[in-house]
Amino acid sequence: MERNIPNNVNFSVLTPEQIQKIHRASVTVLSEFGVKMDSARMREELQAAGAQICEGDIVKVPEQLINKCLETVPKGVSLYSRDGEEIIKVGAENNIYFGAIIDVVNVLDHHTNKVRKMYREDVKNFAVLEDYLDSISYTTPAGMFNGVDPRIASQIAFLDTCRYFTKAQSIVTAECAGFEDCLHAAQDFVGGKDKLAEKPFIMYYAEPISPFMHVDESVKRIIVCAENGIPITYMPYSMMGGTAPVTPVGALIQNNADVLMGLVMSQVIKPGASFIYGSMPTVFDMKTTVGSYAAPEFHMCVAASADLADYYGVPFYGSHCLSDAKTIDAQSVAEFEMTMMSTMMSKANLVHDGPFLDHANNITLVGLLLFDEMFYQTKAYVNGVDTSDEMIDQMLQTIKNVGPGGHYLEERSTLKNFKKIWYPKRFKRLMQNPDESDLMDRLIAEVDHILETHVPKPPTPEQEEVLASYEAEFMSRYQ
């Protein structure tokens, strides 16, 4: 089977030798230095599986156990739409899918290009627009919007996403308890725990605290997911020079060791549990102390991490359309493009986050349309060059037909192939461009039009009843 987005540009950051070196170093960290493990249950499980516990809560994992877990971890992951259709299938073809965000604390108002607080009605707008765009396969309700008690905001964001977004969800919650609320609602939504495990339309996310702190809260998430058949992404966010060594290789060794620790935990709890490799080794900006979302070294290291995940045969959670700028401006669009290009060329499979502005402090509807444009643009780039014998023969014949000084406009091969070339939907290539750009006006109008006209397929009345009853219960908790 061909990859869903053919990638023929042979891009890797790391050579096989470099991958081996980083892998060996990560194994040294885990087996000789150890990591901090808060969870007593996990320490017991790991010890029973062959790990060594020292100084109370430090766990050292022998290479043998790492290798054993790498054998049982699934080499792919499937996710389903809200209505049970397999829409994400990562396996031997190394398919790639893009996700988006439903809510954060602030929203960049698409009419004014100014930041304001995000509210529940914004959640709906993001869900509707993301449902509309074919380039987006899943989204992330995060529960950071305002106006609802933060202890249930993730749950409400999840319920609203079920209402207005028909594809898959990668849930983010502040605490595991919030996820368990969503999990139970999702199980009832599809008709039970087994049905959800068979065709999960949700996945979850956990991260260690860098460096090497596998806190109880994160470990609990791995356990809940393994026991309920829900795929989990384990993704350290570390900052070079702050919470990771300052060099790319140091950060890669550390993050890789922490991800392998997560992988071992998931497989010790349940061999064959679905696991996704995530890694965000970014730059700690020594001028501003910001953990940059758009540093080139960050995205190079994310692509390098995708090479490592590919080496282990585990799906990789990438990042796209990230910026440190607050609004849609020259900086943010340049940073979106770089991150998009890097991830599209890389071996990432599930690409999350974008479009994120102001180092993940705000999101924007207009940014989703820019992402959509860049998605098709970079997809065309990675398609590479078709040098099949059939194509070479066809081209030689065409070149011979036309001869020196001729033109190809009326050649059959032109007519047959010209539509394989990508044409922008929103960017312009006019012979005479207007003196002032009208791109933003057109993007705003397009957002408004989609929000006015696109009606996502609603859940069934029975499913809506499930959502409504959970909503009533969540809302009653903190009144």
Partner 1 sequence: MDILEMIANDIVEGEMDEVADHVQEALDTGTEPKTVLDDGMLKGMNTVGELFKEGEMFVPEVLMSAKTMEEGMEILKPLLKEGDVTKAGVIVMATVKGDLHDIGKKLVCMMLEGAGFEVHDLGVDVTPEEICEAIKEKSPDIVGMSAMLTTTMLSMQDTASMIRQDDAIKDIKIMIGGAPANPDVATEMGANYSADASSAVDLAVSLVA
Binding site for partner 1 (CB under 8 A): 405, 407, 409-410, 414-415, 418-419, 431-432
Between 103 and 446, CB nearer to partner 1: 446
In the complex, minimum distance from the CB of residue 449 to partner 1, in angstroms, rounded to a whole number: 18
Nearer to partner 1, 405 or 461 (CB): 405
Which residue's CB is nearer to partner 1, number 47 or number 414?
414
Closest CB to partner 1 among residues 93, 411: 411
* Of 400 and 407, CB closest to partner 1: 407
Instruction: Compare residues 389 and 410 and give the one whose CB is closer to partner 1.
Output: 410
Contact 29, 257 (CB under 8 A): yes
How far is the C-alpha of 241 from the C-alpha of 41, rounded, in Å? 33
**Pair of tokens at residue 349:** 């499979």
Reduce the DSSP state of residue 197 to 3 states and report it. Answer: helix
Please give the single-letter amino acid code of residue 171.
I
Give the closest residue to 107 by CA, choosing from 122, 121, 127, 120.
Answer: 122
| Smallest distance, partner 1 to C-beta of residue 439, A | 16
CA dihedral 184, 188, 189, 195 (to 10 degrees): 100
Q: What are phi and psi of 102, to 5 degrees?
A: -95, -40
CA atoms within a 13 Å half-sphere pointing along the CA-CB vector of 257: 34
| Residue whose CB is less far from partner 1, 18 or 413 | 413
Give ∠ CA 404-406-408 in degrees, rounded to 5: 120
Cβ closest to partner 1, residue 381 vs residue 418:
418
Between 9 and 415, CB nearer to partner 1 = 415
Q: Closest separation between CB of residue 424 and partner 1, Å?
A: 11
Region for 55 from its dihedrals, namely left if φ exceeds 0, alpha if ψ lies in -120 to 50, beta otherwise: left
Nearest approach in angstroms of CB 409 to partner 1 is 6
Least distance to partner 1 from the beta carbon of 436, Å? 17
Nearest distance, CB of residue 373 and partner 1, angstroms: 16
Distance in Å, CB of 393 to partner 1, minimum: 21
* Residue 418 C-beta: closest distance to partner 1, Å: 5
Of residues 1 and 431, the one with the C-beta less far from partner 1: 431
**383 near 8, Cβ under 8 Å?**
yes
Residue 337: CB minimum distance to partner 1, A: 24
- Report in angstroms how near the CB of residue 410 gets to partner 1 at its nearest: 5
Nearer to partner 1, 392 or 415 (CB): 415
The residue length of the chain stands at: 479
Pairwise CA distance, residues 156 & 141, whole Å: 9
- Tell me how far apart the alpha carbons of residues 248 and 299 are, in angstroms, rounded to a whole number: 11
- What are the backbone angles phi and psi of residue 186, rounded to the nearest 5°? -65, -40
Distance CA(202)–CA(184), nearest Å, equals 11
Burial of 25 (0-12, 13-18, 19+ CB in 10 A): middle
CA atoms within 13 A on the CB side of 35: 35
Q: Write phi, then psi, for 305 (nearest 5 degrees).
A: -65, -35
CB of 423 to partner 1, least distance (A): 8
The residues, ordered by sequence, that sit 6+ positions from 57 with a Cβ below 8 Å of its Cβ are 36, 37, 38, 43
DSSP state of 96: -
Cis omega (within 30 of 0) on the bond before 458? no
What backbone torsions phi and psi does residue 310 show, to the nearest 5 degrees? -65, -40
